[in-house]
Every structure is written in structure tokens, then in C-alpha cells.
A and B are shown apart, each in its own frame.
Chain A
Amino acid sequence: MKQEPGPFLSRFVVETAFALFTGAFGILIIKGALEFSVGWGDIGPEPGYFPFRVGILICLASLVNLVWAFIRHRTLAADTFLTAEQTRCVAAFAIPVVVLVGVTAVLGLYVATALYLLFTVGFIGRHRPSVTIALAVGTPVILFVLFEYVFLTPLLKGPLEHLLGWY
């Protein structure tokens, strides 16, 4: 673990990247809108009218943000977006969440929850095994009782639940 909180990403890089991202999204919207007529029909604006103009708005505003980022390059480049340590913290949080979502799609929400808590509480959080296991087992069980029986809103199930005969 690094003690020195050195800059890892400058705000300038992220600011321009996000402006480019929103700009690209704007172009995507314009493209989608152009599948329809974007002008005036017999009874007023056609389906593409609104999205087309919204897309242009996003593009123009993104362009202004981009130019503005370059104008203020000196200040923004000196401004840290994330230090190395912060990046590590965010990644340690975000990557397990991404994996959790992937695993959920395959194994269902209950099993994925148990595995995720096992990993985050036990491995990343370094809590005692008793705490970890209590959380990893208790949480899905509580969720199961609450959602399957109390709220009657079944959650996503996977192969394990099917094996046990719960659908």
C-alpha cells in the first residue's frame, strides 16, 4: 500500500474524456433520431423532431465543455481527480460489484449475494470469519423470507434454487 497519495488521474483528462463521451452519446441520439423524419409533418413535429434536437443540444453543450476544459487546462491539469490510493479504494469497491452483477445473471441473486458478501466482508474488509459467515448466510436467508413470503416478489433464482425445487 502506498503512503504517498500521488495524483493518478488529473481532472483535465477525466473532464475531456467525459465531454467526449457525452458528445459521442449525442451523436448516437442524432443517428437514432434520423431513422425517422425529424421535421414537421401534417400534424406537427414528427417522431424524430425532439430526439434530433436533444441530440444536437447534447453535442453542442459537450463541445462547449470540451473547449472550456482546454481553456482552463492549466488549473484542471493540476487538479487531481483520483489519487492512486483513491483509485485502489474505488476499484476494490467497484470491481466486486461488476462481478456480482455478472454472477447474479448466472447463479441468481441469493447465491451471488452470499458469494459477494463472503468476498467483500471477509477478504477485502478482513472481518472475523464468524462475522463474515453470519452476514453471507444471514443476508440471503433474510432476503429470501422477506421477498418470497412477505412481499411476494420473487427474486432472480439460479441453478441451486432450481435444484432445491424453488422457482
Chain B
Amino acid sequence: MLDNLPLLLNGFSLAVSPYNIMLMMVGVFLGILVGVLPGLGAPNGVTLLMPLTFGMNPVSAIILLTSMYWGALYGGSTTSILFNIPGEPSSVATTFDGHPMAKAGRATEALTTAFVASGFGALFGVVVVTILSSWATRFALRFSPVEYFSVFMLAFGSFVAFGGGSPIKALVSLGLGFSWASIGMDTVSGSMRLTYGFNELSRGINLLVVVIGLYGIAELCQTMQASPGTVQPVATRLSPREVLRAVLAMPRYWIALLRSACIGVWMGITPGGPTAATFMSYGVGRRFSKAGARFGTGEPQGLVSSETADQAAGSAAMLPMLALGLPSSATAAVLLGGLMIWGLTPGPALFAERPDFVWGLIASMYVSNAVCVIMALTTVPLFAAVLRAPFNITGPLIVIVCLVGAWTVGSNRTDIAMVLAFGAVGYFMSRLDYPVAPLVLAMVLGDRTEDAFRQSMILAKGSIWIFWSNPLAGTIITVALLCFALPGFTALWRLARRQFLPPPVASGR
């Protein structure tokens, strides 16, 4: 644990330069902006900014992009509290208590509590990442393709089992992602797959283009249909005295803070993701906290529960992303795609070969979250004004930003048209409750999953039992398969109960 300290200090010396601090502020600012604006979220914002970082030095680039991610998480809380619109899926639970607080005239307290709780969650997450990273790399060094394949399957399985909605729809989403990922050159045999004779497809489908369509255009369509400018914002003046009072009240929630941070870190490291973390933390809080009965009516502890877990999960997700190349959220998946574009291969070797990059990133997370708390608080009036701008102006401008982003990915005309197609698919997917995150995850991991599978098969000479040849891989793959089977079991269980237990009320058929 202590052997990480010199590395971390070295990271600080890299990350804390005036240039990088400026990038952090730009990133956080843009992040809060995309978090606040409907139709733009963290995955899409990071995607749009990514092509502009290709020429930058990777440490600065990742600082800019991760700062944007953190900023978007904070921006999502602002809209949840003031407007009752979750700017991000992971801030849905924030609306439960945040908006009632704001409506009761406690907007300042709600915002301050949310930001400080987020800051605490992030700090907790980074500390865990700092402590565990050496151990995680040593652990990951033991990984062969067999273990990698098992871990990837676990990631996919957890989306099917714990994603919330219909597991079958999650499977369709995964399948679409896999198939899009396999379009183009096959890395093992060199043959062109699924191009159907179109030259445009031989380059493959770019993840960034898919994300801009699925998250950008699709969400704009949804916003257009949802409410034609009838959002009632709550008063947004912040008095420094109230801010201070809310900050001083924070230590009283230490149990909620610690509990939520632990849940968040756990969900961030295991592939559960921030959204699942917020709901779990909120649920646990409601059940076990003394204030649980008041959850949902404007209880600060409810706000603390979701916000702390959200940021803790977001920060902790950096650990599996760097050590295993395993993203646990859509944004982390996009960042992972970026790493590969910058020529960095995520995995244990990254810690050995590019300690400057890894520790620069980890050190920057300490600083940028402090920047976040300050900037989020000071810019509330500004962004509240941005949100009040008529959406028939901001909407078209976001469209332009999306198209420009699609063009900058590869300077290709077909990409712009593809954004449109993916936008349409994404619109129907989210309206019909197909989860989009599994698709993004499958697109990022698709090739590597397939490679890991093929390499395992080469090692095993075609025997599937290699996945159970050692306890580590065997445990992971068994848990993964159980995840895939879990929804089936619960469905059977419900069916059996309906068969053998008489229903409480006779159905009216």
C-alpha cells in the first residue's frame, strides 16, 4: 500500500501543472454543461470531445476527458435538483429527495449537500483506487485469455441480471453491439466480415459515431417529445451563508456517507456501474437508515445516499478499466476506446509501462474533484440560465455539435449519415426500454471477447472445459453463467408460484 505513495506523488507532479489545471477547469465546465443540457450526457460529451484530444499528450487528454466525466456527473445533479430532470441516468435517484428539497425552498442546501456528498464519494473512490491498484495489477497479471474471457462474460452477464428492465431486451442490445463490433477486418484471420460488399463498412463501425447517435440524436428526439418547454425551475440564488451551513451539517451524515461510498466503490469495481450503485445505495439507505421513513420527501440523507454512491462508483470504475480493460459504465467504455486510440493498451502492463499515465490520471482525480465541487457551486446560476434558454434554440445547436463531432471522428461523410441511423435505432431502443449501455459495452469489448475466446480455444485445443481448468476462471465464468440464467430462474419461480399458490385476487378474464 505504501509503495504506491512515491508513484502517486510522481503522478501529482505530472498532473498538477498550470496547463493541466486549466484543462481540468475546461473539462469540468464542459462536463457540467453537457450534464445540464438535455440530449447531451457524459458518454456523448466525452465522445464529442475525444477526436480533439488525439493530438494531445495522453496524460493531458485523459485529464481533460475524465474531468468532463466528473463534471457531467455534477451537472446531472444540478438539473435533478432544480428541474426534476435527471441529466444522467445515474442521477435519477437524486431527484427523489433533491427536488422536494428544492421545492421546499432548500435549493441551496440540496445543491451544496449533493456536491459535497459527491466530492466525498469521489475522494473515497480515488483513495480506494490508489490503495488497491498495485494489488489489482498483480491480480490482473495472472490473467490469461481464459480469465479475460470469463471476466468479460461476467460484465455482460451482470447487465443482463441486474440491468433492471427486460433481460431479453438486454440480450438483443448486447447482440447488436457484438455484431457491430465484428464488422470489418477480423483480427485473427484477416478476412472482411459482415461488409456485404460495401467498402464503407470495411473500416468497421466507429464506436464514437454509434455513441453520438444513440445518446445524442436519440435523446434529443425524446426531449422534443417529452415536454415542450414547460419546465418550472426553482429559485437558484445561492447565498454563501447557506452554503456554509450546509457544508457544516455534512459531518452529521457520516454514516450515510460511509455506507454509500462503500456501496458505490463496490458497484464501481465489480461491473455494476454508477446507475445501479445509486439505486442500491438509496434502497439500502431507506431500509437501514434512521431517517429512512422520510426518504423521498426531501431528506438530505436520501440525497447523500445516491450522490455519494454515484461519484464513488464513477471513480472506482477507473480501477477495473485501467487494470483489466473492463469498463463498468458507458462513459468508461468510451474512455477505454480512447485509450486504445492513443495507443495505450489497458491492462496490468499499462501500470508497468506507463506509470506516468496511470498515476497522472489517479492524481488528477484528487485535484479535479475539488475543482468540480467549487465550479459546480459557483456556476449554478449560470447553468440554470442556460437551461432556461428556449429548447428550440439549444436543440438545433446540439444537433450541429453532434454532426460536427461525427465528422471529426474520421472526416467521413458516411459517419454523418450513420449518426442519423443510430439515432433512430437509439430512439426506439430507449422508448421501448431496451438498455443502451450493454450495446456500448459489447461494442468496446466485442473484439477482445472474441479474441480471448479464440485464444483460449487455441490453448485448450477446442475444449470448452478450459474455462473451469483453474479456480479463478472457473469461479468467474460460473458466476457469469449464473447471471445470464438468473432472470430465467426468477421467471420460472414466479410461474411456479402462480401455478401452485392461488392468486390473491381472481383475474378478470
Q: CB within 8 A of A90: which of B171, B194, B221?
A: B221
Say yes or no: A61-B171 contact (C-beta < 8 A), given A44-B462, A47-B193, A124-B392: yes
B101-127 to A contact mask, C-beta < 8 Å, 1/0: 000000000000000000000000000
Asked whether B191 lies within 8 Å of A155 as measured between CB atoms, the reply is no
Cα distance, A116 to B182, chains bound together (Å): 35
Q: List which A92-148 residues lie within 8 A (CB) of chain B.
A: 92-94, 96-98, 100-101, 104-105, 109, 113, 116-117, 120-121, 124-125, 127, 131, 135, 139, 143, 147
CB atoms of B172 and A93 under 8 A apart: no
CB of B9 within 8 A of chain A?
A: no
Contact A156 B407 (CB under 8 A): yes
Q: How far is the CB of A145 from chain B (nearest CB, A)?
A: 13
Could you tell me if B420 and A45 are in contact, using CB atoms closer than 8 angstroms?
Answer: no
Chain B residues 331-380 with CB under 8 Å of chain A are none
Among B162-206, those with CB < 8 Å from A are 166, 168-169, 171-172, 174-176, 178-179, 182, 186, 188-189, 191, 193-196
CB of B409, distance to nearest CB on chain A (Å): 10
Q: Are A29 and B393 in contact (CB under 8 A)?
A: no
Q: How far is the CA of A131 from the CA of B116 in the complex (A)?
A: 39
Residues of A within 8 A of B224 (CB): 89-90, 92-93
Considering the chains assembled together, what is the distance between the CA atoms of A100 and B395 in angstroms? 14
User: Bound state CA distance, A92 and B52, in angstroms?
Assistant: 31
Q: Please measure, in the bound complex, the distance between the C-alpha atom of A73 and the C-alpha atom of B83, giving whole angstroms.
A: 35
In the bound complex, what is the Cα–Cα distance between A64 and B413 (angstroms)?
37
Please indicate the chain A residues that have their CB under 8 angstroms from the CB of B178 in the complex: 50-51, 54
With known contacts A44-B454, A98-B420, A61–B403 Cβ distance under 8 A = no
B454 lies within 8 A of A45 (CB): yes
- Is the beta-carbon distance between A120 and B396 smaller than 8 angstroms? yes
**Chain A neighbourhood of B434, CB < 8 A:** 18
Chain A contributes a number of interface residues (CB within 8 A of B) equal to 66
Q: Which of A58, A97, A125, A154 contacts B179 (CB 8 A)?
A: A58
Complex Cα distance, B413 from A104, in Å, reads 9
Q: Which residue of the partner chain, among A26, A94, A104, contacts B403 with CB atoms under 8 Å?
A: A104
Task: Please provide the chain B residues from 191 to 249 with a CB less than 8 Å away from any CB of chain A in the complex.
Answer: 191, 193-196, 217, 220-221, 224-225, 228
**Alpha-carbon distance between A34 and B408 when the two chains are bound, in angstroms:** 34
- Tell me if A14 and B428 are in contact (CB < 8 A): yes
Q: Which one, B52, B172, B196, B225, contacts A58 given CB within 8 A?
A: B172
Cβ contact within 8 Å between A50 and B176: no
Q: A32-B194, A65-B168 are in contact. Are A100 and B399 (CB under 8 A)?
A: yes
Q: Which secondary structure dominates where chain A touches chain B?
A: helix
Q: Does A40 contact B431, Cβ atoms closer than 8 Å? A: no
Q: Does any Cβ of B come within 8 Å of A43's Cβ?
A: yes
Indicate whether A50 sits within 8 Å of B225 (C-beta atoms), given known contacts A14-B431, A120-B396. Answer: no
Closest to A29 in B: B179
Tell me which residues across on chain B come within 8 A of A125, comparing CB atoms. Answer: 390, 392-393, 396
A33-B194 CB under 8 A given contacts A54-B175, A89-B228, A93-B224:
yes
Other-chain contact of B168, A43, A68, A135, A155 (Cβ < 8 Å): A68
Q: Is the interface of B mostly helix, strand, loop or mixed?
A: helix
Does chain A have a CB within 8 A of B416? Answer: yes
Contacts of A75 in B (CB 8 A): none
In the assembled complex, the Cα of A93 lies from the Cα of B226 at a distance in Å of: 13
B182 adjacent to A57 (CB under 8 Å): no
Indicate whether A40 sits within 8 Å of B462 (C-beta atoms), given known contacts A57-B175, A139-B400.
yes
**Interface range on chain B (Cβ under 8 Å from partner):** 35 or more
Chain B residue at minimal CB-CB distance from A119:
B396
Q: Is A36 an interface residue (CB 8 A)?
A: yes
Give the CA-CA distance A14 to B429 in the complex, in Å.
10
When distances are taken between beta carbons in the complex, the residues of chain A under 8 Å from B168 are 61, 64-65, 68
Question: Most chain-B Cβ atoms within 10 A of its Cβ — which of A32, A43, A50, A117?
Answer: A50
Question: Is A81 an interface residue when CB atoms closer than 8 A count as contact?
Answer: yes
How many angstroms from the CA of A113 to the CA of B403 in the assembled complex? 10
Residues of A contacting B191 in the complex (Cβ-Cβ under 8 angstroms): 36, 47
Given A36-B191, A45-B454, A57-B171, check contact A143 B404 (CB 8 Å): yes
- In the complex, the answer to whether B175 meets A101 with C-beta atoms within 8 Å is no
- For residue B458, CB closer than 8 A to chain A, the reply is yes
B284 within 8 A of A: no
With both beta carbons as reference points, the residue of chain B lying nearest to A58 in the complex is identified as B175
Confirm or deny: A153 has a beta carbon within 8 angstroms of a beta carbon on chain B.
Answer: yes
How far apart are the CA atoms of A101 and B413 in the complex, in Å? 9
Q: Please tell me if the beta carbons of A117 and B176 are within 8 angstroms of each other in the complex.
A: no
A124 partner residues in chain B, CB cutoff 8 A:
392
B496 contacts A by Cβ under 8 Å:
no
Q: In the complex the two chains form, is B420's CB within 8 Å of A97's CB? A: yes
Query: Does B506 reach chain A (CB closer than 8 Å)?
Result: no
CB distance from A20 to the nearest CB of B (A): 12
Cα A116 to Cα B399 in complex, Å, equals 10
The verdict on A24 contacting chain B, using a C-beta distance below 8 Å, is no
- How does the 8 Å CB contact mask read for B396-427 relative to A, with 1 for contact and 0 for none? 11011001100110010100110110010000
Pair A62/B408 contact, Cβ less than 8 Å: no
Contacts of A25 in B (CB 8 A): 176, 179
CB distance from B394 to the nearest CB of A (A): 10
B195, B393, B397: the one contacting A127 at CB < 8 Å is B393
Known: A46-B189, A116-B399; 12 extra A-B contacts, CB below 8 A, are A28-B196, A35-B193, A40-B462, A44-B458, A45-B457, A47-B193, A55-B175, A65-B168, A101-B403, A101-B420, A143-B404, A153-B411
Nearest first, the 6 A-B pairs at minimum CB distance are A125-B392, A44-B457, A58-B175, A32-B194, A93-B224, A120-B396
Can you list 20 contacts pairing A with B, beta carbon distance less than 8 Å?
Answer: A29-B194, A33-B193, A45-B457, A46-B189, A51-B182, A51-B193, A57-B174, A57-B175, A58-B172, A65-B169, A68-B168, A96-B396, A100-B403, A101-B403, A113-B400, A116-B396, A117-B397, A139-B397, A154-B411, A155-B407
